[in-house]
Amino acid sequence: MNDIILDVRNMSTHFPVAEGTVKAVNQLSFTLSKNETLGIVGETGSGKSVAMKSVMGMIKSPGYITKESQILFKTNEFSKDGKEEFVDLAKLKQKDFTRIRGKHIGMVFQDPMSSLNPMFTIADQMIETIVFHQNVSIEEARERAIKLLDDVGIANPAERIDDFPFQFSGGQRQRVVIAIGLSCNPEILIADEPTTALDVTIQAQILELMKDLQKEYDMGMIYITHDLSVIAEVADKVIVMYGGTQMEMTDIYTLFEKPRHPYTHALLSCIPRHDIKVDLLNPIKGQPPVMLDPPPLCPFLPRCPYATDKCRKEWPELTEVEENHYIRCFNPISDTTPVHYDDVIDKKEAL
C-alpha cells in the first residue's frame, strides 16, 4: 500500500507477575498510512493502551515486547543520507526513543491533568518540548507554541500561554494537551480516549478539532476508545480488540455493515442504534477473558455460540477474508449464517 508510515507485525506485549504472565497484547498486526485514522476499539482491559504504549516505547520492565514483534516506523531520524527508512521500534534502545516519542509520534492521553504539570505555565511546558526536539531558539519556540494554541482554538493565545493548567477549563486543557502533542509536527498522533473525561458537547468539539488537525497537519492518527460511536465519527479503519487479541480489522463501513467476527456482532448488538428500535441494552453473556496465562485459543471461545471443536484446539490466525477485511476466527459469520444474538447477550432492562 502507498504511504505506509507504520507497519506493526505480530506485536505481543507481556507482563510477568507473581502468579504468571499477563498477556496484554497478542500478535497485533496493522499498517497506518499518512492521512489515515485507525480506530482501536475494545472493552476495558482489552489491551488497547498497552498496544499503543508498546509502539511509543513506554513499556516498563519487567513488561516486554516479544522478540517476534516488529514495529516498523518510516523515518529519516537515524538515516545517514537523510532518506526515509523503516526502523524497527521494537528493537530501539530507550535513549534513541527520545528522538521518536514527542517528535515523530505525538500523544494525547485521557486525562489532561495527568499530562500537564500543575507547577509550570503552559509556556514552560510547550516551549520545553519544542526546544528539546527542534533546533530553534526559545523565542521561535514561543511563537510556534502560540500558533499551536491558536490552531487548537484557545482564544488570546499570546496571553493564555503564560497561565497555569488550573486556569483552564477541562475542555481547554485537553486542547492544550493536543497542542503539545502536535508541537513538533509529528507524522503520527496517538490519542488514548482523549474525550472520555469531558462532557458530551465538549467531546464533540474535540473530535471535530482532531479531525481538522489531522488534515491540516497531514498526519496518521491512531484513536483508542471503548466507544463505537466515537470510532464511527473519526476512523477510516478499525481494529476490534478482545482479551488482548485483534478479532477483526476492516474499514469503518464494513465494520458496521458486514462484520464477520462473532465478537464484533455481539459488540454491535450491545449498542443502541437510532436506525433500529431497541428497548433493551444487551451486555455480552459470560465472564470477561482470562489475561493471566491464557490458553493459546481464541479468547472469545467461552462466550461464543459459534465455537466448534477446532476452536477448542487451535489458535486462529489473522486471515484476510475479503480485500482489507481481516478476522481471527474459524467460523466467520456470513450473510447466510443465522445470527444468534440471544445466545451471546444477556437481556437486561434499559435504564
Ligand X SMILES: Nc1ncnc2c1ncn2[C@@H]1O[C@H](COP(=O)(O)OP(=O)(O)OP(=O)(O)O)[C@@H](O)[C@H]1O
**Counting contacts by CB under 6 A, is residue 299 touching ligand X?**
no
Q: Which of 22, 182, 189, 247 forms a contact with ligand X (CB under 6 A)? A: 22
Of the candidates 56, 13, 45, 350, the residue with the CA atom closest to the CA atom of residue 226: 45
Distance CA 197, CA 274 (A): 24
Q: Which of 11, 12, 39, 48 forms a contact with ligand X (CB under 6 A)? A: 48
Stretch that binds ligand X, among 37-45, 99-107, 111-119, 306-314 (CB under 6 A): 37-45
**Counting contacts by CB under 6 A, is residue 14 touching ligand X?**
no
**Counting contacts by CB under 6 A, is residue 302 touching ligand X?**
no
Cβ contacts of 209-214, under 8 Å, gap ≥ 24: 209/152, 209/153, 209/175, 209/178, 210/178, 210/234, 211/37, 213/151, 213/152, 213/178, 213/182, 213/189, 214/35, 214/37, 214/189
Q: Which of 2, 18, 44, 323 forms a contact with ligand X (CB under 6 A)? A: 44
Closest CB 328 distance from ligand X, rounded Å: 17
Stretch that binds ligand X, among 46-54, 64-72, 121-129, 255-263 (CB under 6 A): 46-54
Sequence-distant (6+) residues with CB within 8 A of 228 are: 41, 267, 268, 271
Q: Which of 3, 17, 283, 343 forms a contact with ligand X (CB under 6 A)? A: 17
In this structure, what are the phi and psi dihedrals at residue 6, rounded to the nearest 5 degrees?
Answer: -140, 130
Residue pair 301/243 in contact by the 8 Å Cβ criterion: no
Instruction: Compare residues 15 and 223 and give the one whose CB is closer to ligand X.
Output: 15
How many C-beta neighbours within 10 Å does residue 274 have?
Answer: 6
Stretch that binds ligand X, among 16-24, 138-146, 161-169, 310-318 (CB under 6 A): 16-24
Instruction: Compare residues 63 and 153 and give the one whose CB is closer to ligand X.
Output: 63
**Counting contacts by CB under 6 A, is residue 288 touching ligand X?**
no
What residues make contact with ligand X under the rule CB under 6 A? 15, 17, 22, 24, 42, 44-50, 63, 226, 291
